[in-house]
Structure 1
Amino acid sequence: MKAMTAEELAGAAGTTKAQILAYENGHRVPEPPRIKTLARALHIHPQLLMNPEKRGNWAIADVRRGCGLRADDVVRELGVSPKVYRRFETEGIVPSRRPRFLDEVAAVFGITRQMLEQAIDKTPAVLQRQRRAAVLVGELAARYVLAAGPWLGPDLSDPELIELATAYGRPLHRTRRVMTYELGELRQRRVRALRESVIADFDTDRDRQMNARLAVDRWNELFTREQRRIPLRLEQFHRNAQPSDVWQLLVVSSTRMLCPGSMASGPSRSSSPRTPACCLHIWSSSESLTASLSAGSQRPASPTSPPSPGCTPLCTPLPVSPCG
């Protein structure tokens, strides 16, 4: 940092000494272009001129100003409409057809993507959306997880589902596919807990009853923990959303890696590539969501059936509910 008097800094920044003193004493807040000019004169990064005590709570707009940028500057650099960028800065909604949007914004700001994501997480509208999403997910889970009959996922007309889709700025059908997968995973955990509770209540062996009671507690704890994580996963999923053709490419790529020879002849030109049943055993990885989204609301008919020869599941799938 270059040592300068207030008068020297004023001359280098093209302003007055009184203005510099007003900045130093906190009576005035400089505009982003002036922040950039002052930082250039002092040979430091613009962020170092901001209040360091509040840096941990910076939202996206604070980071932008700390980089000496106006919203118009960012819009021009990114080549997006002011409405798209304003929605990102105020609500943390990433345009769905711009998969590298966060990397591009981080490059314009001159910061790492991790710093940008931290700022998104601090944005008030994002925090409010996550709190509301937790409530909506809880209501959807209570309504659908233990519903009798085959697993079909939430109804498209469900008001909670519609509100979720609106909150994340995504199509209703896509939101339904995501929630069908997430609620389906919760359903598997609840079914396991119910099965163990039957053993705990009716088994004639006391040791098995005791072990079953412990298992019930573990499955219920896992259910609660996973339900709490869904809003965060929704946020990350929509923040890193890819176009549908990219999802299909991921499905095909994972298929070829896990089942070499299953697609040796390549996909038919007359129909879209299909995912072999063995690849639907991937529940704990990113490919699991990919397979679920690609297949729509359908889930594997029999997750407990062994995978096809030559295919190794990445984790042990949970048995399906007796009611589907």
Structure 2
Amino acid sequence: MADFDGEALRLARTSPGPPSTRRKRRSPMTAEELASAVGATKAQILAYELGQRVPEPQRVRALASALGVHPVTLSHKKVDFGSLAELRRAYGYRSSDICAALNISAKAYRRFETSGIPPVRRPELPHEIAAFLRIPVSHVQIVVAKTPAARDQIDVVTTALARLREEFVQAEGSWIGPPAGHRDVLLLANLLNRSAGSISRLVTCVLEEERTQLLRIARYELSARFETDEGERLRAESTLDFAQRRYGRAIKVLPAKVVRFVREWLHSDAWSALAQLVDADEPVPISKLGIMKESLDRVPWPMIIRFGRSDGEEVVAITGEGANHCIQFMSWYRALYPSVRVSERAVMARARRTAFRLPLNQSESPGPAH
């Protein structure tokens, strides 16, 4: 763990520890006391503090627990981690710890850590890692996006979408999207570790939305050019300018949005379960959802919250993260899973409401215990 900060360990040991709900503020500790608490020797503790030795991740967690601080406190990097590996090590975990806890192969985990692309049969992996580390999934996505492989993915997606846009969006005649055998669809399928058929449906939806925006812009251009009333013409020009700027911003962020979607891509069962919750104004008993418990189990924890009531009934509610996921990607899921019915009115209404929030104390969440 190269990011370990020995000076931070010394300061945490020699300063009064933070108070907790179970005990008063901890008194400063001697090197001998800390060594005894973590099963080490005084010489090892002093070597850690002087930077002569670097503790193993599990020892970092033990040191942090004994001192009553978060493992990140003992890292040189407190924020702005450059990779998921740096974040994981700062939290005091080896890759093998996460593989064992999440029951995933080392090869599959390493691929996600270096490229950000989850396994086809494990699309919820980013959410599982976030729940394991007890952090928002957005933090996982941010650090994963910083890896060279992830940046290269966005460059490739940008180039492929530009070629597809020129070939299909700007083509005259009735709309038709790229087939599964198209060279750029196959390129994206291989890059993003998804089937060509799925990528074809996704890209077709993305490009059709672009085409719709361009047709709308074309109508605004006609109004701005040929409107005889001065006031109407000025309004049309203002609307046109707004639509063009909005389209330009959407095109700029689209490649990153596509890659992010692939990282958060839900299984059809999970999407079906989440879609049923988006219209609920209060927690819903699982028995009344009309879906199998196995489908609900596939929805990542940060998107829903489940808890038991006093009558023994387990209830579930969508969280802000789950609602935002529905709002952002509803049309794309509709293209991928046409058999899953989703109420667009319910999703839009949810966008105007305050979603259920996760517990402020994440230790109350159903994430894995460490």
Q: CA deviation at 1:139?
A: 3.2
The one-letter amino acid of 1:291's match is R
- Matched residue, 2:337: 294
Matched, 1:149 2:173: yes
1 CA distance for matches of 2:105 and 2:165?
37
In structure 2, list runs of 5 or more residues that go unmatched.
1-16, 18-25, 281-325, 349-370
| Of 142, 153, 156, the match for 1:129 | 153
Normalising by structure 1, we get a TM-score of 0.70
Contact 1:201 1:209 in 2 (8 A): yes
Q: Which moved more, 1:233-242 or 1:130-139?
A: 130-139
CA distance in 2, matches of 1:140, 1:98: 28
Q: How far, CA to CA, are the matches of 2:140 and 2:169 in structure 1?
A: 35
Matched letter for residue 287 of structure 1: M
Q: Structure 1 residue 14: deviation in Å?
A: 4.2
Aligned partner of 1:221 in structure 2 is 245
For 1:136 and 1:147, locate their aligned partners in 2 and report how far apart those are by CA, in whole Å: 16
* 8 Å contact from structure 1 (residues 196, 213) kept in 2: yes
Q: More displaced, 204-213 or 25-34?
A: 204-213
Change (3 A) 1:27 1:153: farther
Aligned to 2:170, the other structure's residue is in SS state coil
Counterpart of 2:58 in structure 1 is 33
Counterpart of 2:58, as a letter, is: P
- TM-score, normalized by length of structure 2? 0.62
1:16-35 Cα deviation digits (max 9, x unpaired): 54543443244443221221
Partner of 2:104: 80
Deviation at 1:7, TM superposition (A): 4.5
> What is the aligned partner in structure 1 of residue 366 from structure 2?
none
- Provide, for residues 21-62 of structure 1, a one-character-per-residue CA deviation record: whole Å limited to 9, x for no partner: 443244443221221232233233322211245x22252212
Q: Please report how far the alpha carbon of residue 65 of structure 1 lies from its aligned counterpart in structure 2 after TM superposition.
A: 1.5
Question: Aligned partners of 2:50 and 2:38: how far apart in 1?
Answer: 17
Q: Which SS does the other structure have where 2:80 is aligned?
A: helix
For residue 68 of structure 1, the aligned residue among 92, 97, 121 is: 92
In structure 2, how many angstroms separate the alpha carbons of the residues matched to 1:90 and 1:65? 14
Cα deviation, 1:201-222, whole Å, max 9, x if unaligned, reads 4555555544443333222212
Contact 2:205–2:331 (8 Å) recurs in 1: no
Residue identity (%): 34
Shift of 1:187: 0.7
Report the count of equivalent residues: 274
- CA deviation vs aligned residue, 1:236-281 (integer Å, no higher than 9, x gap): 3222222234556778x59x99xxxxxxxxxxxxxxxxxxxxxxxx
Q: Is the 8 A contact 2:31 2:46 kept in 1?
A: yes
- Note the 1:192-207 alignment, pairs <5 A: 192-202=216-226, 207=231
CA shift for structure 1 position 11: 4.7
Alignment of 1:105-254 (within 5 A): 105-202=129-226, 207-247=231-271
Residues 312 and 43 of structure 1: CA distance in aligned 2, closer, same or farther (over 3 Å): closer
Judged with a 3 Å threshold, the aligned counterparts in structure 2 of structure 1 residues 107 and 294 are, in CA distance, closer, same or farther, namely closer
Q: Structure 2: which amino acid aligns with 1:144?
A: F
Alignment partners' CA distance in 1, 2:76 and 2:268:
42
SS in 2 for 1:33: helix
* Cα distance change of structure 1 residues 25 and 123 upon mapping to structure 2, 3 Å threshold: farther
- Residue 268 of structure 1 corresponds to none
Superposition CA RMSD, Å: 3.5
The residue number in structure 2 matching 1:56 is: 80
Distance 2:46 2:67 in 1: 15
**How far apart, CA to CA, are the structure 2 residues paired with 1:42 and 1:83?**
34
Whether the aligned pair in 2 keeps the contact of 1:121 and 1:127 (CA below 8 Å) is yes
Structure 2 residue corresponding to 1:90, chosen from 98, 106, 114: 114
In structure 2, do the counterparts of structure 1 residues 77 and 244 end up closer, same or farther at CA, with 3 Å as the change threshold? same
Q: 1:224 Cα shift?
A: 1.0
Separation in structure 1 between the aligned mates of residue 346 and residue 222 of structure 2, nearest angstrom: 29
Could you tell which deviates more after superposition, 143-152 or 100-109? Answer: 100-109
Alpha-carbon distance in 1 for matches of 2:161, 2:188: 9
Gaps (5+ residues) in structure 1?
A: 258-282, 297-310, 316-324
